[in-house]
Amino acid sequence: MDNFAAKTSTVPKIQLDIQRDYCKKVKKVISQKYDSQPLACVVTYGCQQNVADSEKIKGMLNEMGYGFTDERTNAQLVIFNTCAVREHAEDRVFGNVGALKKYKHENPGVIIACCGCMMQQPHIAEKIKRSYPFVDLVFGTHVVHELPGLLYKALTGKKRVFEIPDTDGVIAEGVPVLRDEDKRAWIPIMYGCNNFCSYCIVPYVRGRERSREPQQILKEAKELVESGCKEITLLGQNVNSYGKNLEPRVTFARLLRMINDIDGDFRIRFMTSHPKDCTRELLETMAQCDKVAKHLHLPFQSGNNRVLKAMNRNYTREKYLSLINYAKELMGDSLSITSDIIVGFPGETYEEFKDTLSLIEEVKFTSLFTFIYSPRKGTPAAQMPDPVPAEEKGRWLRELLAAQEKISAENMKKYAGKTFKCFVYGKGKPGGHSLEARTDGNIIVEFDGDESLIGTFKDITVTEPLTYVLKGRLAE
């Protein structure tokens, strides 16, 4: 294999060694400060990238000697890893942080910390500083790997700690990870975003696009597969532009092939793709690689070309549809397509919204993630006139959901009686079937079986397709 080098600011090993030393120092401090092993509660909001960051946070805390709890008011350390993508997510964080005021007052030895995308916005950090004086530590998205040193400062110093450098971002390799599951794992392959879609806060809070070296990703994937992991999801804001900063250049399609070549029975997923960088080569790679799930999450946001332009998405409805049609041509019925949509972008008219409706009718997505536009401070769209009232946007959203419900129900019918290799990932909901699995296309299948099947692939025959889930039984 070629030797790839990232032309980017990889955190030097010496800095990570310093953090490892801080882990030991924190361990000592907390053993003196608390009577028994202190517990940490890490609360994660938002996307899988945040879930992956929280797994690193837990990995470092584990090394520092913390145990873990899901009960905030049982913990000696509560960390809120926040999301800034919509206002609703931010409101929830403020509500939940505020709810800990009394707990902190009664237990002054408890440390309360906030991190993640919300904290990377100066006006939010300022609000925490001013109105939430019981928050001890705030750190931004570019210094997650420095948590041991920051926590040491918060535990031993008299002042509150705010560390939110505004940089283009770094890559920190070798930070310990404590994964939530052992059979399914997230691997971030790139960080940041350069697209600056006009509504989106992500490029401002996550820095510039930077890709991990393929050797590092392959090493992590191999270790996971060897330890029995069955499903690996490759993560990035825009995985299709993976490798642009690498020398020599390596495409996402090439990376997928390298991971597909790892020996073992496992499945590869990836998200999120951007239509502007989604190539025919990538779709061909998906079709050809047996371990790559035939699930394409390709957000289109709007079906109208004027709105797409105002969103700065850099593709047209026609280009999107031609990609989808090519993917369908290559992968046929085995392909499942999902998407993200924004309803009520500033200036969008009902006529323009109807182009989104007609696009979903044409593509027939398996399912959709739909959002009403939420203005984000500092983004260009937040400056645009937005005359449509919220109730009207709500009506459009309901119309979209009703249309998709019919499409989903119709789509699912084609699976009746068919048998799929599914990954059994957990127990079913109380009162329902005992287990839940997912098809290659990421559709949930509920069925009855022994708990020992969790963490394995099983062939399941669909007995009853519902609108969003399938019911099935173990195949004979």
Binding site for ligand SF4 (CB under 6 A): 193, 195-197, 200, 202-203, 237-238, 274
Question: Rounded to whole angstroms, how far apart are CA atoms 183 and 437?
Answer: 13
DSSP E strands in 367-449: the ranges are 367-372, 419-427, 435-438, 444-447
Residue number, 221 or 360, with CB nearest to ligand 5AD: 360
Question: Rounded to whole angstroms, how far apart are CA atoms 147 and 61?
Answer: 9
If contact means CB under 5 to 8 A according to the sort of partner, which of ligand 5AD, ligand SF4, none does residue 342 touch? ligand 5AD
CB-CB contact of 420 with 401 (8 Å): no
Question: Rounded to whole angstroms, how far apart are CA atoms 91 and 271?
Answer: 26
Q: Which one of the spans 137-145, 263-271, 274-282, 367-375 is the region binding ligand 5AD (CB under 6 A)? A: 367-375
If contact means CB under 5 to 8 A according to the sort of partner, which of ligand 5AD, ligand SF4, none does residue 371 touch? ligand 5AD
CB-CB contact of 453 with 411 (8 Å): no
**CB of residue 327 vs ligand 5AD: minimum separation in angstroms?**
18
* Residues linked to residue 422 through DSSP beta bridges, in sequence order: 458
**CB of residue 391 vs ligand 5AD: minimum separation in angstroms?**
17
Residue number, 77 or 342, with CB nearest to ligand 5AD: 342
**CB of residue 272 vs ligand SF4: minimum separation in angstroms?**
7
Sites for ligand 5AD among residues 430-459 (CB under 6 A): none
Residue 376 interacts with ligand 5AD (CB under 6 A): yes or no: yes
If contact means CB under 5 to 8 A according to the sort of partner, which of ligand 5AD, ligand SF4, none does residue 49 touch? none
Residue number, 78 or 341, with CB nearest to ligand SF4: 341
Residue number, 66 or 191, with CB nearest to ligand 5AD: 191
For ligand 5AD, what does the binding mask look like between residues 71 and 110, x meaning CB under 6 A?
A: --------------xx------------------------
If contact means CB under 5 to 8 A according to the sort of partner, which of ligand 5AD, ligand SF4, none does residue 374 touch? ligand 5AD
Q: Which one of the spans 69-77, 206-214, 373-381, 396-404 is the region binding ligand 5AD (CB under 6 A)? A: 373-381
**CB of residue 209 vs ligand SF4: minimum separation in angstroms?**
9
Residue number, 210 or 274, with CB nearest to ligand SF4: 274
**Quick one: how many helices (H) and strands (E) in the chain?**
14, 21
Straight-line distance from the first to the last Cα atom of the chain, in angstroms, rounded to the nearest whole number? 43
Residue 206 interacts with ligand 5AD (CB under 6 A): yes or no: no
The contacts of residue 439 (CB under 8 Å, 6+ apart) are 336, 415, 420, 422, 445, 470
**CB of residue 295 vs ligand SF4: minimum separation in angstroms?**
18
Residue 342 interacts with ligand 5AD (CB under 6 A): yes or no: yes
Residue number, 8 or 233, with CB nearest to ligand 5AD: 233
DSSP E strands in 309-428: the ranges are 336-343, 367-372, 419-427
Residue number, 28 or 88, with CB nearest to ligand 5AD: 88
Q: How far is CA 171 from the centre of its chain?
A: 17
Sites for ligand 5AD among residues 288-327 (CB under 6 A): 299, 301
Opening angle at CA 456, ends 435 and 256, nearest 5? 120
- Residue in 415, 421, 416, 419 with CA at minimum distance from that of residue 438: 421
CB-CB contact of 55 with 179 (8 Å): yes
Question: Rounded to whole angstroms, how far apart are CA atoms 198 and 13?
Answer: 37
If contact means CB under 5 to 8 A according to the sort of partner, which of ligand SF4, ligand 5AD, none does residue 467 touch? none
Question: Rounded to whole angstroms, how far apart are CA atoms 439 and 472?
Answer: 11
Residue number, 176 or 347, with CB nearest to ligand SF4: 347
What are the angstrom distances between the C-alpha of 299 and each of 114, 119, 321, 393, 435? 29, 26, 12, 19, 30
DSSP E strands in 45-198: the ranges are 67-68, 77-82, 111-116, 137-139, 161-163, 184-188, 190-191
By rule CB under 6 A, what count of residues binds ligand 5AD?
A: 12
Residue number, 121 or 216, with CB nearest to ligand 5AD: 121
Nearest residue by C-beta to ligand 5AD? 340
Among 45, 152, 199, 396, binds ligand 5AD (CB under 6 A): 199
Q: What is the dihedral of CA 27, 32, 37, 42, to 10 degrees?
A: -60
Q: Which residues bind ligand 5AD (CB under 6 A)?
A: 85-86, 199-200, 299, 301, 340, 342, 371, 373-374, 376
